[in-house]
Amino acid sequence: MRSFLFQLAFLLVVRNAIAQAPGVPVYAEGRGARPNATLMTQAKKLHEASALLSMTKVLEQSKQASCTLALPVADTKPLPSRERWQRARLSHIRVGAYFLCSKCDKWHLDLAGGYAITADGAVATCAHVIASPPDMKEGWLVAATEDDVLLPVTEVLACNAGTDSAIIRVKSDTPLTAVPLGFDVSPGDPVWCFSDPSGKRGYFSEGIVSRFVKRPFLRKKETADLPEGAEVPKPVWLETTLDWAPGSSGSAVIDACGNCVGHVSEIQTVLEDPLPVRKKKGETASTSQPLGTQMVFHQAIGAAEVRALVKKP
């Protein structure tokens, strides 16, 4: 009996040890995980070696409106589910700032999403992802692979704040896995997104395209910075039923063939109407009350806005 129980326990351990397929990462979470510790060490070394692009130069180079790139041709053959996830993961490049905080005087690494669009280092993301953090005293733009290799950003190739699109160049010792841009997409088509919502690494979600919308990205106070008489840009958005959250910005939305049809940009939450507050005798009136969520809109910038930044060689 004891031998049988030992064998059963051994089989359960083995089964749990190989629950995921070969090559599938298992992310450390919870107390003491320190998921960015390795990247922070690499960033510190590169910073000390003056190998990083300052956020001051990022701001200057963001005025570049276009660049010349040879983009890969869109694929037309649907990928098996595992290959689709693998392409999404390998092409996913985390982009953000390594900066000294003006509040706590400590160094932080604030990363969102991006995706490689050429093997030689061109990476697309949101314009708001490469903007300086609000509490930054000094900082540098960096990128990282899914295997926690920090990639120095060498330049901003093109940027359009009005369409929330940007292309940067990173330095990598190995070719990047580039995802082609795709434009043959319709409401009802299935789409997927690999991102890091709210710091949850490697979250792969599935949904469909709900509709297309054309509206401004810039807020009213932001349009005041446009040249006098300039038209406010109105990018084309894809609304989807995918899951994402803060930290997902800039991550690719891919179709069944593994093409990028857009990238994560915004979330809009629809809250229920507040109920009237009834004041009881002897109580002070409440100034606020929690509201339930009725619906969440997940909005991506269409891939055509990234292509608009690129000139053919």
Chain-centre distance for alpha carbon 197:
8
Report pLDDT for 19.
Answer: 72
Query: What's the pLDDT at 179?
Result: 98
| pLDDT score, position 291 | 75
Which pLDDT belongs to residue 285?
Answer: 55
Q: Say what the pLDDT of residue 276 is.
A: 65
Return the beta strands (E) in the chain as ranges: 53-54, 67-68, 94-101, 107-112, 115-116, 122-125, 136-144, 150-160, 165-170, 190-195, 203-214, 236-240, 252-254, 260-271, 293-302, 310-311
Hey, what long-range contacts does 83-87 have (CB within 8 A, 24 or more apart)? 83/258, 84/192, 84/254, 84/256, 84/258, 85/192, 85/194, 85/204, 86/23, 87/177, 87/179, 87/254, 87/258
pLDDT along the chain (313 residues), means of 10: 49 54 90 90 96 97 97 97 97 98 94 98 98 96 97 98 97 97 98 96 97 93 80 95 96 98 95 71 60 89 98 85
Read off the pTM.
Answer: 0.88
